[in-house]
Structure 1
Amino acid sequence: MNKTSDLETFSDESNTDETLLNTRIGTIIDGSLSKGLTVKLDSGEVPGSMIEQIAVGRYVVVQGLTNTRFFCIVTDVALAHNNPYIETNPPDTNDKYSIEIYRSTLSYGIVNIAPMLVLEKNDKKPKPVKTIPTHFSIVSQANEEDVTQIFGKADENHFYLGNPLEMDQVPINVNLDRFIERSSGVFGKSGTGKSFITRTLLSGIVKSRKASCLIFDMHNDYGWGIQNEHGQTYKGLQQLFDSNHINVITLDKKTSLARGDRADGELYISYDAIEPEDIAMLAGVLALSDVQVNALYFLRRRLGKNWFKKLLSDQEQDQNELDEFIEQGDLIKSSLGAIQRKFELFRNMKFLKEHVSDDFIEILFQKLNSGTSIVLEFGTYDNSLAAYMFVANYLTRRIHERYVSAKNKAFGKRGEDPNPLMIVIEEAHKFLTPELSQHTIFGIIARELRKYNVTLLVVDQRPSGIDDEVMSQIGTRVTCLLDNESDIRAVFSGVSGAGALREVLARLDTQQQALIMGHAVPMPVVIRTREYGPKLYAEINQQTSSSQTAKHKAEQAKTDLFG
């Protein structure tokens, strides 16, 4: 008769992996699914040393009694003891022998861990956790095999973005298909490296050609090379990819030439193409009242396509035509005067012209739909929020209209499905405030998910300024250090287990670390982001065709874009 108990059988099964024993850190002593688990740490090679080897944000694996494995993240580290006497009578600091005895018997370290995924026996893929391991389950540091099992290997669908803390040789790979499937965000206070992380993500998307990117590059960070505060130069996207992958368009050719950058084309917007909806979004920036915004719609209806030109005109005939509306009681004189004064700002936008012959929107749509990503550089307008918001709103509204039309034709089997598009905007809280998001194209895109194959990548240092409903639609969130409580709260809105992760976010380094959570990763992960440098450049060069010389690239791009 076999007297082996079920408990012994479970124990034998759960301890066959020697790697778990080699990396053991402690055992489960308390906890719940909602509040996390408490782990009593082993003493370590030197009594009490184990606690100094465990950092918030690190991965651990718990071996369950029934041969299940729980993947968890460390959320807190603390000291504990089992005798209150040592609080009032600690050993003398010179008494090394007593200190070692105390550390070995009376005091110990504990860590709190949040279970995220579970791998059940005979399953190949982890599932969301719905229970917790039993008391005294063994807790071990995660190894490369564990991380690979969760995040997958780098391939055409998975892009290497960084490494887990204390695991420099283990890659964390983001699922690009899922990243572009919904709108995403990169958040962090100024100076934390948002632009470098965004540039790295964009290089992965452009390389994969899973989506085209329309990048509104307010500060000229993405198209061509930039220097950091230490004078180190980094390549831009145009220097990594050929003209079939990336084109750089500028609003300010003189600045591009002065910087030594070669723009593939220039953007000009015709006066008669501007609609009141293009201006209404700037109401806050221009200090336009509701009455003045409504007046713009009236003028467009009565004056036709020339309404914007006549508001800026110095011609007496045009002014007389406007004065007639005042005399007829259709407009208030003070409102019209205020509008004209505030519109003086547009005179400084040299990319606005009375007449533009090319249909730039159609050209841009064709390039994006064919898989070419576009970087729109703002040159000297990099400090003009009005110019940035105006251009981003103007182009996005019209490109989105083209995508809606193409998608509807595809639904009716009268055309092909348009190529997926990701629109990249900085200072996103200016576009997506609670007041604006209900009415602007960017709020519409965020709420549509991927209905028309268009999503957003928002880059922002003030996520608390973004409408809560829009934030709830942000599928993947890459978050660098934030220290404003309202911003932290906004980033975690709608995230399961947010309480435990808040402490993880608060402990990030000021640069080159980020917490990734959401649609593109199976569980939250803290990473040290990969270097945006020679190794990444080499990887891009190996996987893309870049045999064209820089001169030929620029000439070919101009020919492709403008004929």
Structure 2
Amino acid sequence: MLGKVISSSTDKVHFRIDEGEEFENVKVGNLVVIESKYNYLARINELEARHLGESVLPDKIAALSYPDAIENIQGIFGPQFYYAATASLLGIVDGNTIRGAKSLPKYLAPVRRVTEEDLKFLYRTETCISIGRVRDMDIPIFLDVDTFVTKHAGVFGKTGSGKSNAVKVILREVKNRDIACVVFDVHSEYGYHPTGLGGLDNVYVLGLKGAECDVSLCIPRTLIYPSELAMITELTPAQQDAVHLIYRKEKDWLHYIARKNSEEISEEFEQRIRVETISALKRKVSRITDYEFVGDKFDSLKYIMGKVVQGATVIIDFGEYENNDWVIQLVTSIVARYLLNQFRSARRKNTDVPKTLIVLEESHKLLNKEMARQTVFEKIVREGRKFNLGLCVVDQMPKKILDEVISQLNTVIILLLTNIKDREHLISSSENDLTDFKEEMRRLDIGEAIVTGIAVPVPIPAQIDLFKRDEIERGEKKEEEFREFDWN
């Protein structure tokens, strides 16, 4: 027995930890079961050292010279000093299910550590993926993959917390379920990194300059919209009007502005566009047309969509542009908008397209308060689920992300967050009640996480699996050898 209930309310239980229990083995985040009329599942949120008697008793004992003073101070109720825990009620365990708790456990009800039998409701179903284990236990954690993918998710943690490893584990699992993924790999971690997915079966890496890849990324000028230009540079009202006039007339509007003489453009539009406006536009348009990945040689967008239809994982490696916010904003916006339009079109035509997850690294660069409503990602979090197109937001600074975006993330994986503003913004913005996790978020070890939301039955303290590329390679090699075996 771990302890006994000493008080409770509709959402919290306070229990005294048994004298025979090693207090320092009881941790914030541990799951416990309270045995009353029902078996209540609870999660420890706070630990506290307490004492009986006058308030200054600890001070008086601390002043004593002999070391065993505390052990020798006894009372009619036992030791004067004891430890207590506060736990949040998660529900009532009923066989293989868990339901909401609408009652309270009785006074002095025994509290024990959770067992595998208690967590049978976490067991795998046909629509689940495994990302790790319950912390300090050998019990796998499963997420409902359809819910995770189509109803949007977030992975948050400071640099070095194990965030990239968590994403790789998610990609591994989603890949095995033949769900398509498009990953915006800002820091070259997921492709041909020593521990990346590049080269694995049904994984394709597209790269910008400096990236190791299967195919170089090339975006046709004709598939770039005026909104992309407005996103990376500020346009005056006159410049906006000029761009829209030219865009309606010229399919290759960027090439037209960049290459044609300013005076000629003004004449063709009967002086509705001033020469000075066109000259200024030329300088701003060059911010797009001068990039080597913008042109008319190869349509990477069609290539990406073709792989998505096959249920593949597509990784876009930004190579030397990892610190270039313009390029990150431009490429992610164009690719995501193209995908959303294709999924909309497929729905109108009643064409089957695999469930697809877009993984957006460095999300705060596009989903901040200043930019979010200008990008397609705000539309994806609001509309994507209609088309089986989901978004996984990955970031180390959730405080910079628009609260309306965070509120749409129905599954959240939280790793170590030491910045109080990050924690508070996540708590205030999320649809999931994260209040009880505020302090635990800053105490997590590398690879530890809190998994919460509609993809799991209850919030779970997790140890995320370590992504091991060599194990996947061995598995794929066995499959290839099996397919090639000559039965004759």
Report the TM-score when normalising by structure 2: 0.89
Which residue number corresponds to residue 238 of structure 1? 198
Which residue number corresponds to residue 318 of structure 1? 261
Q: C-alpha distance in 2, partners of 1:126/1:497?
A: 18
* 1:12-411 mapped onto 2 (5 Å cutoff): 24-34=1-11, 36-44=12-20, 50-64=22-36, 66=37, 68-84=38-54, 86-90=57-61, 95-102=66-73, 104-120=78-94, 123-147=95-119, 149-153=120-124, 157-167=127-137, 169-209=138-178, 211-226=179-194, 234=195, 236-239=196-199, 241-242=200-201, 245-252=202-209, 255-256=210-211, 261=212, 263-282=213-232, 286-289=233-236, 292-302=239-249, 304-313=250-259, 317-324=260-267, 328=271, 330-331=273-274, 333=276, 335-353=277-295, 355-356=296-297, 358-410=298-350
Q: CA deviation at 1:80?
A: 0.9
Checking the alignment, whether the CA contact within 8 Å between 2:158 and 2:416 is kept in structure 1 is yes
Q: Deviations over 1:281-303 (max 9, x none)?
A: 32xxx34456544542233134x
SS at the partner of 1:214? strand
Unaligned runs of 5+ in 1: 1-23, 227-233, 549-563
Q: Which amino acid aligns with 1:82?
A: L
Unaligned runs of 5+ in 2: 482-488
Checking the alignment, whether the CA contact within 8 Å between 1:310 and 1:318 is kept in structure 2 is no
Task: Specify whether residues 342 and 505 from structure 1 end up closer, same or farther in structure 2 by C-alpha distance, changes over 3 A only.
Answer: same
Q: C-alpha distance in 2, partners of 1:237/1:106?
A: 57
Q: Deviations over 1:351-404 (max 9, x none)?
A: 112x33x54433322321121121111222222221121111112111211111
Q: Which amino acid aligns with 2:366?
A: F
Task: Specify whether residues 432 and 76 from structure 1 end up closer, same or farther in structure 2 by C-alpha distance, changes over 3 A only.
Answer: same
Matched, 1:508 2:444: yes
Task: Specify whether residues 290 and 166 from structure 1 end up closer, same or farther in structure 2 by C-alpha distance, changes over 3 A only.
Answer: farther
Q: Deviations over 1:325-371 (max 9, x none)?
A: 898353472x5444333333335411112x33x54433322321121
Q: C-alpha distance in 2, partners of 1:546/1:383?
A: 39
Task: Specify whether residues 381 and 63 from structure 1 end up closer, same or farther in structure 2 by C-alpha distance, changes over 3 A only.
Answer: same
Q: C-alpha distance in 2, partners of 1:449/1:130?
A: 35
SS at the partner of 1:79? strand
Q: Which amino acid aligns with 1:117?
A: G
Report the TM-score when normalising by structure 1: 0.78
Name the stretch that deviates more: 78-87 or 495-504.
495-504
SS at the partner of 1:223? coil
Checking the alignment, whether the CA contact within 8 Å between 2:90 and 2:458 is kept in structure 1 is yes
Checking the alignment, whether the CA contact within 8 Å between 2:96 and 2:121 is kept in structure 1 is no
How many residue pairs get aligned? The number is: 476
Q: Deviations over 1:181-228 (max 9, x none)?
A: 31111111222221111111111111121x2001111111111124xx
Which residue number corresponds to residue 560 of structure 1? none
Q: Deviations over 1:394-427 (max 9, x none)?
A: 12111211111111222xxxx4x32111111112
SS at the partner of 1:419? coil
Q: Deviations over 1:425-483 (max 9, x none)?
A: 11212222334433432111101251011010111122222222221110111111222
Q: C-alpha distance in 1, partners of 2:379/2:13?
A: 41
Checking the alignment, whether the CA contact within 8 Å between 1:276 and 1:300 is kept in structure 2 is yes
Name the stretch that deviates more: 50-59 or 80-89.
80-89
Q: C-alpha distance in 2, partners of 1:248/1:324?
A: 45
Q: C-alpha distance in 2, partners of 1:332/1:32?
A: 73
Q: C-alpha distance in 2, partners of 1:183/1:280?
A: 27
Q: Which amino acid aligns with 1:194?
A: K
Q: Deviations over 1:215-249 (max 9, x none)?
A: 111111111124xxxxxxx2x2124x31xx21112
Checking the alignment, whether the CA contact within 8 Å between 2:262 and 2:279 is kept in structure 1 is no
Task: Specify whether residues 419 and 52 from structure 1 end up closer, same or farther in structure 2 by C-alpha distance, changes over 3 A only.
Answer: same
SS at the partner of 1:451? helix
RMSD: 2.6
Q: Which amino acid aligns with 1:395?
A: V
Q: C-alpha distance in 2, partners of 1:72/1:247?
A: 44
Q: Which amino acid aligns with 1:32?
A: S
Task: Specify whether residues 114 and 291 from structure 1 end up closer, same or farther in structure 2 by C-alpha distance, changes over 3 A only.
Answer: farther
Q: Which amino acid aligns with 2:459?
A: P
Checking the alignment, whether the CA contact within 8 Å between 1:397 and 1:441 is kept in structure 2 is yes
Q: CA deviation at 1:56?
A: 0.8
Q: C-alpha distance in 2, partners of 1:339/1:194?
A: 41
Q: C-alpha distance in 1, partners of 2:362/2:167?
A: 13
Checking the alignment, whether the CA contact within 8 Å between 2:266 and 2:273 is kept in structure 1 is no
Q: C-alpha distance in 2, partners of 1:58/1:432?
A: 34
SS at the partner of 2:358? strand
Q: C-alpha distance in 2, partners of 1:486/1:194?
A: 19
Task: Specify whether residues 268 and 106 from structure 1 end up closer, same or farther in structure 2 by C-alpha distance, changes over 3 A only.
Answer: same
Checking the alignment, whether the CA contact within 8 Å between 1:41 and 1:51 is kept in structure 2 is yes
Q: CA deviation at 1:541?
A: 4.1
Q: Deviations over 1:498-546 (max 9, x none)?
A: 322112212212x222211112211112222222236xx4267437865
Q: C-alpha distance in 2, partners of 1:124/1:540?
A: 35
Checking the alignment, whether the CA contact within 8 Å between 1:33 and 1:132 is kept in structure 2 is yes
Checking the alignment, whether the CA contact within 8 Å between 1:216 and 1:425 is kept in structure 2 is yes
Checking the alignment, whether the CA contact within 8 Å between 1:214 and 1:373 is kept in structure 2 is yes
Which residue number corresponds to residue 231 of structure 1? none
Which residue number corresponds to residue 486 of structure 2? none
Which residue number corresponds to residue 475 of structure 2? 542
Checking the alignment, whether the CA contact within 8 Å between 1:276 and 1:296 is kept in structure 2 is yes
Q: C-alpha distance in 1, partners of 2:294/2:156?
A: 32
